[in-house]
Amino acid sequence: MIKRTLFFSNPAYLSTRNQQLVVNFPDDEKVEKTLPIEDLGYVVLEHPQITVSNGLLMKLVQNKTAVITCDKQHLPCGFLQPLVGHTEQTERIRYQLNASIPLKKNLWQQTVTAKIDNQANHFLSRGKNALRLKRYVKEVKSGDLGNQEAIAAAYYFQNLFDLEGFSRNQKGVPPNNLLNYGYAILRAITARALVGSGLLPSVGIFHHNKYNAFCLADDIMEPYRPYVDAVVYDIIESGCQIEDLNTRIKSDLLLIPAIDVVIDGKQSPLMNAMSRTTASLYECFEGSRRKILYPEF
């Protein structure tokens, strides 16, 4: 089932009644709205004057709904997740923590290979030459000792957008702002799926920064990044201004959880595909599987 994404950019009072999310507005002329909580996958809270009842937060967490808060720059900065995401969570975390270094290196090799291959296929879909990226795919070794991921990413972004002098930098010129927003949404999707699979998003297979609470999410989202890039590419091609994250652009980026991807030969919404990816990751930790299931662009 495809879960809905709700985005609140104006002052609002959010509460719950009869398993429904109830939305009231300070403006008395606006009519109260209700939505079934079971249909919600993501709730994005952007405006600082949004009030959320604790009863609603409890029901959203129990429904495994990702609640995302935004900072003053309107970028996602926080993510509310349940303490218990799976009935076998303790056992699954034990497998994750006991994963050997050779296994982690192999899983990271698979992840980087899938990412670069998806970048190459995104190039091909835009009529661009992907021969160099396809070569990088073949050069990824265990643990990516040659750092092909960074080499491929530099080439990829230098040639993806038809914008003079563009380079990928979080604080760089547009469309970096669009990419930052899209990747933040993708990170929340990944963290939600990892928790649902009983894994710790903070313990990565490659990323291990002690200040990063989402190391594993940052690992697993890598092959999915080209889908965000594709959405941003289409926004640029539409001709709209990209200096600011306006409502239209955010609406397009907030559709990322529901865009179709191909995984295991079948079409699936990205949020569902991510759950299959994280489930396969657990099976690799547990030993019943050797390959992570990633989508093919």
Binding residues: 149, 207, 222
Using the 8-state DSSP alphabet, how is residue 288 labeled?
S
Burial tier of 8 (Cβ tally within 10 Å: 0-12, 13-18, 19+)? middle
User: What is the enclosing helix (H) or strand (E) of 135?
Assistant: helix 131-138
CB-based contact 270:257 (threshold 8 Å)? yes
9's tokens: 């950019």
- 175: cis peptide before it, omega within 30°? yes
Using the 8-state DSSP alphabet, how is residue 139 labeled?
T
Q: How far apart are CA 142 and CA 184, in angstroms?
A: 28
In sign, the C-alpha dihedral spanning 152, 244, 162, 225 is positive
Beta bridge partners of 261: 268
Residue positions in the annotated binding site for Mn(2+)?
A: 149, 207, 222
Q: How far apart are CA 226 and CA 119, in angstroms?
A: 6
Q: How far apart are CA 62 and CA 169, in angstroms?
A: 36
E strands, the chain, where? 4-8, 12-17, 20-24, 33-36, 40-45, 50-52, 66-70, 76-80, 260-263, 266-269
108's tokens: 């990271």
User: What is the enclosing helix (H) or strand (E) of 236?
Assistant: helix 225-237
Give the CA radius of gyration of the chain. 20
* Secondary structure of residue 208 in the 3-state scheme: coil
